[in-house]
Amino acid sequence: MPTEILMPALSPTMEEGKLAKWLVKEGDTVQSGDLLAEIETDKATMEFEAVDEGVIGKILVAEGAENVKVNTAIAVLLSDGESAADIGAPAVAPAAAPIATPLAVTAPAAPAPAAPVAASGTRIFASPLARRIAADKGIDLATVNGSGPHGRIVKADVEAAKPTAQVPTPAPTAPKAATTLAAGPSADAIAKIYADRDYQEIPLDGMRKTIAARLTEAKQTIPHFYLRRDIKLDALLSFRSQLNKQLEARGVKLSVNDFIIKACALALQTVPTANAVWAGDRVLQLKPSDVAVAVAIEGGLFTPVLRDSENKSLSALSSEMKDLAKRARDKKLAPHEYQGGSFAISNLGMFGIDNFDAVINPPHGAILAVGAGVKKPVVNANGDLAVATVMSVTLSVDHRVIDGALGAELLNAIVDNLENPMGMLA
């Protein structure tokens, strides 16, 4: 029986994607691991691999099609002995998933079972054929070890497995009614207000939809509180200038942001109970300092994560950050490079912003909003009036994870690191 190739979930938050480019055509023979297509998720363009061998019998979704729902059939794979005549009409895709019009054929193919989920709630990755065989043989895919790419379960894995003893399925219970959040005016109502004005309507792409959903969730569900400090940068700027002269021959130029990343990473080690994330019914306290840094790109932003930042030199952090920022702007980051972390930095100082309050990116426990360094009058240690370069920062904190005194301790550690930069190299 022909096997449907489904739109994959290439990241945990992906619900739909754009089929940017087909790398195969009808009639091509493919092996497990061969590249089939390039798919745009809400954050990046990623390559999609075949998990079974066969011949591409029909492409169901045209190149460039947007809003294709996950688990929608995008192509049909033929096994040995099968031909185009064996292809049935694909199941009707959701209305939001435009697909190429299929040829009229005699009988519909049986759809593959839905993507299985383990008892823990984790999705099990298996090919459509493997899921169909497992359903026929009564095999629980949670008990099967996958040998395909990235641990995906393929046909051979299921055929070698033994049937699972059937356990009666409990009757489903009615779900609790979800709390309804107050909704704003409808799109039509807003459009009527501006009916007599000249405007351009800009459809939301996947990235903008994700940003809107996550930040709305953040402001509605996370109890933010804010801590503010001014940081004297003169010692850091002088130290940075010395280091850059010494590193010039190696082609390394450290930015103030590199020092901020290092200062936050070390502060999370100094105050380990603040290195934590909210996990619904518990708090996860991380041991490494995985620091996310907001990067503005056209149409949105990424927050790539610099893992184990506390153990990396300033020059290593600088090089890694430049690489992540470049690939973020090209939308070439893999999901593991922009997911995770416990703490984030958002720096708008280069745009001349003195100070601002950043929104926490869940499940992070805090985010540091960094303003510009500007010359200001200050009172020095001798009580005299002097001029110093001062940078204003605001720490947005999730009160479920970090209480006021703990947040203040973390911010003080960040300030101490930046005002005494040589200590970060000790």
> Does the annotation count 399 as an active-site position?
yes
Q: Using an 8 Å Cβ cutoff, are 351 and 213 in contact?
A: no
Tokens 């995770």, located at residue:
340
Rounded CA separation 131/71 (Å): 13
Q: Given the residues 224, 336, 364, 399, select the one marked as catalytic.
A: 399
> By CB neighbour count within 10 A (0-12 exposed, 13-18 middle, 19+ buried), where does 76 fall?
buried
Q: Which residues lie across from 302 on neighbouring strands? A: 295
Q: Using an 8 Å Cβ cutoff, are 232 and 67 in contact?
A: no
Rounded CA separation 15/140 (Å): 25
Rounded CA separation 368/346 (Å): 6
Cβ neighbours, 10 Å, residue 270: 16
Task: Give the active site residues.
Answer: 399
